[in-house]
Amino acid sequence: MKHLPLFFDLSGRKVVVVGEGPAADRRAALARSAGAAVRQLGDIRAADLRGAAAVFIATGDLDHDTVAQRVAKLLGVPVNVADRPALCDFILPAIVDRDDVVVAISTGGAAPTLAATLRGRIEAVLPERIGSLAKLAATFRTQVNTLIADPARRRAFWRRLVEGPAARLAMAGDDAAARRAALGELDDARRRLAPVGIAHIVGAGPGDPDLLTLKAAQLLREADAILHDDLVPSAVLARARRDAEFLAVGKRKGLARWTQDEINAELVRRVRAGQMVVRLKAGDPFVFGRGGEEVEALRAAGLPVAIVPGVTAALGCAASAGIPLTHRRLASAVTFVSGHSAPENEAVNREATWPALAAQGHTLAIYMGASEAASVRDRLLEAGAHPAMPVAIVENGTQPEERVSTGRLSDLTRLAASHARGDAGPSLIIVGEVAALAAVAQPPLAKVS
């Protein structure tokens, strides 16, 4: 090891920066971010360095850098010279700053680009709010040391804290809930009780595994159990931890195997048993995903739950098909609509909703609509939509087997027939002038007048 990695407390201490320009300014800003009292100079004298904890030199001129470095060395002040490792007492690593959590990467000055590349990779996987977890741990350190005397049990508590429900809540930004969870775990550890788990209601996105959010991908790698929809493709499930327990709890139309009440009860049972559970839902859990009902059930049971949004089908499928949901000349509004509606709401939906949805300059993204294409067409035509309004149907959007059909509203039933067969994938119907811009629409459909 060429350099010993140290974290130096500069809070309130004098730091001198010699030089002007971007390199010097960056070093001054870095020292200030650590709480240092920075004095930035164009040149240096011995008197300027009295009481200094460190000196950064970045004049850009070898002769000036060398003179300033010699002054610092004579006074015994640690010095860093930008881009001149041979003149340095210490070097600056590539830094990942997450508040109370700081990661430093160094190649000893040999390959700064490699250090920067590694920093980017670490930033991609390190949660943005990991510093909140460090703060949470710090607030409980004295209590833990007092209440849990046995070192092995104390280590087990800390592992649980940084990997369990309290950690997830802290990194989700719910500091109050994280503190309550940590207090509960501390009390359980003191009384030697089994800890409670946590449920994450996670959006799997529209199908392409590369469209998973970073947080969703991380949770899949850590989950004890994954309760997933039938519509979540195997390529997404393949990103999960290999020894996790997988449970398909799909409720596709006509093929329901699990009721919503049964799913809610299973989530509650597993969290009470101490598992870290991911409820993986296609698209976004709060857009026609009934994620809200699962959150309500877990909260009613007094159990911790966190929500991780996903790219909803309308956004992913439209983008994949080359359809802008809004367009300066064609559409100034977009509405997400379910192709199925509860019978008791049918009259309200028909009378109040559909006339507004049929207006020009309005894009409709209709979920679960392929099997209801005739009803969707009739509702829109009855509400005043133009029969020649462009439509597009996107099946298996964002996935390798994606298939797009385009046409007119009046012909929607025929277009949807092949997308409603038994072996068809999930389909999204897009209605509006923007549908004419689908990448497969050749030649472009004319604007409705």
Residues 162, 136 contacting (CB under 8 angstroms): no
Residues 54, 78 contacting (CB under 8 angstroms): yes
Exposure string over 141-175, b if 16+ CB within 10 A, otherwise e: eeebeeebeeeeeeeebeebbeebbbbbbbbbebe
Cα–Cα dist 134/97, whole Å: 13
Tokens encoding 153: 């049990």
Confirm whether 251 is a catalytic residue.
Answer: yes
Residues 6+ apart with CB under 8 A from 5: 93, 104, 106
Of 65, 229, 281, 284, the active-site residue reads 229
Residues 6+ apart with CB under 8 A from 10: 31, 34, 35, 36, 53, 54
Q: In 10 A of CB 198, how many CB atoms?
A: 23
Residues 6+ apart with CB under 8 A from 416: 369, 370, 371, 373, 393, 405, 427, 429
Cα–Cα dist 440/449, whole Å: 22
Residues 173, 129 contacting (CB under 8 angstroms): yes
Cα–Cα dist 395/393, whole Å: 6
Q: For helices 130-147 and 151-163, give the axis angle rounded to 10 degrees.
A: 160
Residues 284, 361 contacting (CB under 8 angstroms): no
What long-range pairs does 231-238 form, CB within 8 A, spacing at least 24?
A: 231/282, 231/426, 232/204, 232/280, 232/281, 232/282, 233/207, 233/209, 233/399, 235/207, 235/208, 235/209, 235/399, 236/204, 236/205, 236/207, 236/209, 236/212, 236/280, 237/280, 238/209
Strands (E), 359-426: 362-367, 390-395, 403-408
Q: For helices 175-190 and 151-163, give the axis angle rounded to 10 degrees.
A: 150
Confirm whether 229 is a catalytic residue.
Answer: yes
The separation between the first and the last C-alpha atoms of the chain, rounded to the nearest angstrom, is 73
Of 100, 174, 251, 411, the active-site residue reads 251
Catalytic (active-site) positions? 229, 251
